[in-house]
Structure 1
Amino acid sequence: MSNILRTLAEKVEPRHTALVIVDMQNDFCAQGGYLQRTRAESGRNPIRVDENASIADRIGVLADGARAAGAMVAWLRSVYDFRYLADAHVAMREGEGCCMEGTWGADFFRIQPGPEDVVVDKHTFSGFHETGLHAQLQARGIGTLVMTGVATNVCVDSTLRHGFFLGYHIVVAEDCVGSGNPVGHEGTLSTVKVNFGEVTTSKELLRLFGRHTPAGAPPVL
């Protein structure tokens, strides 16, 4: 990519922007999902999931605004069946599997892809590692990734770094990402601001997308 975009408005022009929704799945986000359940049972670093519903709702509104403006919307879905995982990844799993194919835990949490959205399955933290995501983005002429989803400091972080290394401009919607690790969450946001891109709000992104929304389109609420 040779197009250097300086301002946020330039970066998130819808024709070359993809909203990336990372791992909004029951095992990561829901009460009784793998992450909340295993941490509660082990008694270490309990995960609070009570904020995930509001995060999901904000992502849903942002996705509607992105679609209305003509931006691409791409969902990353973890599928962590053991047969897909490297030994080092399996060693980090606790007890039962997480996001096992065909289970409730692997289903999307609260929000669902639209009919024109792209869904990419991944088997590790980065959405680019051995997936078709990069090819699909390139086919659409995408140069900017607007990152949302969970966990800020794990799969969102891994994917945005990988995307940056591939040449994408990176924007994080700070009210549309979350983590059970507040220190890690804030650390990723701080690192992005210094090294990888920009951090902004869904409200500001909706305002910028709205500049490109055709007249007469339904309002994004």
Structure 2
Amino acid sequence: MKPYEKMNSQNTALVVIDIVNGCCHEQCEDGNLKFGKIRSMVPGLISFIKQFKETIKGQVIYTKITPWTKEFLPPNLRELYTDPACVYYSTDTTGFSEKFYEVQPEADDIVVTKNTYDTFADNAFRQILWDKGIKYLVITGVFTDGCVLATVCGGFQAGCNFVILKDLIETTDEQVRQELSGYLMRYTFPIMYGKTMTSKEFIDGWGGNTS
């Protein structure tokens, strides 16, 4: 059965969060910031996007980032990043970091560009959802403990309901972040924010299959 009884193709959207080079590509890795587990997840995500379009026939929304540099980020992030333990500025000035990694939005997909963690901080994104009558969001992407978490929290506060696909969200390879992501998927997401399941469970619930 569907995760929520009232879900349908008109009020449900798939959100693909930040599958961009800066969060995925090996050329953008640095020190402890490794994306191997993310790259391993992406082929399954690409397959699921196709299945979602064929089975659910709902809207697909991709998020991407502005250059993650001081001049593009909001004041609160710039102030946070004065702490050396938190600073996360990109040094790339070529535009490579902001380009999509492997995924390819199609003409009927929506692309939203954001300059902070929570996609709901972007008023244009909110307006797209309200204009289209979208209430249910199926969440995929990166980072589980960063922009995924922030978007789920922001969207729940805004009145949306969520399905979080635990096999299609991921974070960096660092052990502490992997452990935190596991806790989020086992406890925080399902208890506080939304139905948490695998992509196969989701598709099967709509009467489709993943084979």
TM surpasses 0.5: yes
Q: 1:146 & 1:11 partners in 2: Cα distance? A: 14
Gaps of 5+ in 2: none
Q: 1:125 & 1:95 partners in 2: Cα distance? A: 13
Q: Measured at CA, do residues 95 and 172 of structure 1 come closer, stay the same or move farther in structure 2, by a change above 3 Å? A: closer
| Equivalent of residue 108 in structure 2, options 96, 116, 136 | 116
Q: 2:6 & 2:144 partners in 1: Cα distance? A: 21
RMSD, aligned CA:
2.3
Q: 2:76 & 2:129 partners in 1: Cα distance? A: 29
Return the letter of the residue paired with 1:93.
Answer: V
TM-score, structure 1 normalization: 0.81
Q: 1:26 & 1:205 partners in 2: Cα distance? A: 27
| Equivalent of residue 178 in structure 1, options 147, 170, 174 | 170
Gaps of 5+ in 1: 1-5, 41-45, 212-218
Moved segments of 4+, more than 3 Å: 92-98, 208-211
| Equivalent of residue 86 in structure 1, options 34, 59, 74 | 74
Q: 2:180 & 2:65 partners in 1: Cα distance? A: 20
* Alpha-carbon shift at residue 49 of structure 1 (Å): 1.7
**Greater CA deviation, 48-57 or 144-153?**
48-57
* Alpha-carbon shift at residue 96 of structure 1 (Å): 4.2
3-state SS in 2 of match to 1:115: coil
The alignment status of 1:21 with 2:16, answered yes or no, reads yes
Q: 2:8 & 2:192 partners in 1: Cα distance? A: 22
* Alpha-carbon shift at residue 32 of structure 1 (Å): 1.9
| Equivalent of residue 59 in structure 2, options 65, 68, 72 | 72
> Which residue pairs with 1:215 in the alignment?
none
Q: CA deviation digits over 1:58-111, x for unaligned, max 9?
A: 11112112222311100111112422213442324346446x6x6111111111
**Greater CA deviation, 51-60 or 121-130?**
51-60
> Which residue pairs with 1:208 in the alignment?
205
3-state SS in 2 of match to 1:83: coil
**1:65 and 1:209 in contact (8 A); partners too:** no
**1:78 and 1:121 in contact (8 A); partners too:** yes
How many pairs align? 198
TM-score, structure 2 normalization: 0.84
Q: Measured at CA, do residues 81 and 201 of structure 1 come closer, stay the same or move farther in structure 2, by a change above 3 Å? A: same
